[in-house]
Amino acid sequence: MKRTDFDAVAERVRNWGRWGPEDQRGTLNHIGPEVLKAASETVLSGKLFSLGLNFDSNGPQLGARRFNPKLYPIDLFTPLNPERPAFVYADDVIHMPLQAATQWDALSHVHYDGLLYNGCKACDVLSPRGAAKLGVEHMANPGIMSRGVLLDIARLKGVDALPTEHAITPDDLDAACAAQGVQPKAGDILLVRTGHIRRFTIEGDRAAFNGHQPGLHHACAEWVHDRSLAAVCADNLAVEIMGAGRRDSEVPLPFHMLCLRDMGLPLGEMFNLEALAADCAQDGRYAFLLAASPLAFTNAVGSPVNPLVLK
């Protein structure tokens, strides 16, 4: 993507100042009481789905940059009271990148030209102490809940998983809406299924999961902005396409930059949409209640999450 083309889109989708100069929640501000009441009305069957991967040493990471969680049980078989040794407890320590598996990117996760969302200067915000502004704790309070809408692009194309070089376009999103009979509305959280997560969960191929992968073309940023969506999540590593030549582009990770930095829109990655998608295909209902609050790690640029869907 050419930098000049990128700048024109960035200007069009930029939400800086829209919710005040001190805003830390970006497009999550689209989720108000009316949106939440409408979201609760989508609950009809009482079926519950977790969209989270497990956090363990067999996770999706290759270890080169990010590694899989390491669990250290401590206080194993420790009596609560030495005089009552039959009553014992255990605690755990975990060592892991917050980006190890299913996770949210906070608004401080990426920036360009020295500025973060809402024009915050990166040099004032980011330090070895973390993100003084736009940290993930602001997404955790009051949390993230809304109507979720699944657009199953793999199913639309008649495949289990999209080919690795497939860039999902706004036309694909429109076609999925038409095929599935659902229209994303203001405040909704969009879940995009590529099927790519199966390369890890079903085929057990970590290298393929971390390699070239299908995902959203950056043109989808305007589609998302025009519908006032609150967040976008997908079942791949980065929500957006990570194809050949991505490192040579004038703008690396353009969808990340447009969403997180310009729109203030959080991205959810490695959401396992397989079981949910099968149920949606069966009952024809692609909208539901989604609860996906990150943990309130103060000053962190992301957080693990166990997203829950109630239909």
Binding site for ligand UVW (CB under 6 A): 99, 105, 109, 237-238, 269
Closest CA relative to residue 190, chosen from 210, 176, 171? 176
Q: For residue 29, what are its two tokens?
A: 């501000």
- Closest CB to ligand UVW among residues 16, 112: 112
| Nearest CB to ligand UVW, comparing residues 99 and 303 | 99
130 within 8 A of 298, measured Cβ to Cβ = yes
Least distance to ligand UVW from the beta carbon of 99, Å?
5
Contact 102, 248 (CB under 8 A): no
Q: Which of 248, 250, 256 is nearest to 218 (CA)?
A: 256
By the 10 Å C-beta count (0-12 exposed, 13-18 middle, 19+ buried), 291 is classed as middle
At closest approach, how far in Å is the CB of 30 from ligand UVW? 21
- In whole angstroms, how close is the CB of 275 to ligand UVW at the nearest point? 23
Judged by beta carbon, residue 105 or residue 235, the one nearer ligand UVW is: 105
Q: Among residues 107 and 309, whose Cβ is nearest to ligand UVW?
A: 107
In the complex, what is the shortest distance from the CB of residue 70 to ligand UVW, in angstroms, rounded to a whole number? 19
Decide if 149 contacts 286 (C-beta within 8 A).
yes
Which residue, 39 or 263, has its beta carbon nearer to ligand UVW?
263
**Residue type (1 letter), 120:** C
Provide the minimum distance between the beta carbon of 29 and ligand UVW in the complex, in angstroms, as a whole number.
21
Residue nearest to ligand UVW (CB): 238
Burial (CB count within 10 angstroms: exposed 0-12, middle 13-18, buried 19+), residue 178: exposed
